[in-house]
Copies of this chain bind each other. A is one copy, B any other.
Amino acid sequence: MSLSLNQWTTRRWSVAEAVDGCVRHGLAAVGLWREKVAEQGLAETVRLVREAGLRVSSLCRGGFLTAGGLPGEEDRHAFARALDDNRRAIDEAAELAAACLVMVVGGLPGVRAGAPLPASGLSREPAAGGSAPCPPGFSRDLAGARERVAEALGVLAPYAGERGVRLALEPLHPVYCPDRAVLSTLGQALDLCQAYPPEQVGVVVDTFHVWWDPRLSDDLARARGRIAAYQVCDYLHPLPADVLLGRGMMGDGVIDFGPITRAVAGAGYTGDVEVEIFNADVWAADPNDVVATMKARYAALVPAG
């Protein structure tokens, strides 16, 4: 395994700056984000990473496939639009020869990330007789949302397979279940993979998302051949008010990287190890300092694979 910079860790850097930073700091791989690639231009990004001799350890991200749980024409169109956008993401991953396309599958339909829920129509005193509350502007049908992800995968996995792209299903910490990912555990992600060849669909193991899981050791053992990406960062305590920014530099939180990394290696993973940190302090720091700290902490705290 070797260290890769996920470019969201140095969010202020463009693709060109991140590629340059990786070369200067002696890293052999970079994880890219679609927004940044679009800003740089896809063809120019391909040229930059090739000329730098970097591997693209992942492209972030596809997903958000749970639309369709609400009544009305608009929501059905949203599901179709999501599939189209994912096909474009797969095409981009193919152009970039990315090791995988990271899939964040989406939360409950109609629940927006970090935003208040749409009004539920519930008064404090429901009408006499316990009549049903007004339909809310979002769906509480978690099982339905999970079925929609499986349905979308049935469309996207063959499309990815034809283009030599590996989809990487990322289970997110359950705290993100309402708004970002109804895929909540590694076991659930592995179950979803089973219908597809390993080179078409794999999983992302991200320490922040999975460190708490009592089944982690067992599920990593059965993940052999399915780990498409391994991401490390720490889990801060307490979480900041915006829980999305609770990811920290290794050593600043509660995660012991030894057992998880050894289990990932034990499952046969030999790919790159991305550090992906969403954190206001990290984003405010000089990106060169961030990369230097990342390298030092990685060397000190993450066992060699």
> Could you tell me if A214 and B184 are in contact, using CB atoms closer than 8 angstroms?
yes
Stretch at the interface among A75-83, A116-124, A161-169: A116-124
* Chain B neighbourhood of A126, CB < 8 A: 296-297, 299-300
Measured in the bound complex, the distance between the Cα atoms of B274 and A244 in whole Å is: 31
Instruction: List B contacts of A292 (CB < 8 A).
Output: 125
Give Cα distance in the complex from A125 to B296, angstroms: 6
Which of B124, B141, B237, B256 contacts A293, CB < 8 Å? B124
Q: A213 is contacted by which of B174, B212, B300 (Cβ under 8 Å)? A: B174
Residue A28 is within 8 A (CB to CB) of chain B in the complex: no
Query: How many residues belonging to A are interface residues under a CB distance threshold of 8 Å?
Result: 57
A31 within 8 A of B: no
Residues of B close to A243: CB separation below 8 A: 175, 238-239, 243
Could you tell me which residues of chain A, from 128 to 143, have a CB within 8 Å of some CB in chain B? 130-133, 138, 140-143
In the assembled complex, A252 has its CB within 8 A of some CB on chain B? yes
Query: A173-B174, A212-B177, A251-B133 known; A117 and B237 CB under 8 Å?
Result: yes
Complex-state Cα separation, A238 to B107, whole angstroms = 13
Q: List 19 A-B contacts (CB under 8 A).
A: A114-B238, A122-B251, A124-B293, A130-B296, A130-B300, A133-B301, A138-B254, A140-B254, A140-B256, A142-B211, A174-B175, A177-B211, A178-B237, A178-B254, A185-B213, A185-B214, A187-B215, A188-B214, A239-B243
Which residues of A pack against B, CB within 8 Å?
108, 111, 114-117, 120, 122, 124-126, 130-133, 138, 140-143, 146, 173-175, 177-179, 184-185, 187-188, 211-215, 235, 237-239, 241, 243, 251-256, 259, 289, 292-293, 296-297, 299-301
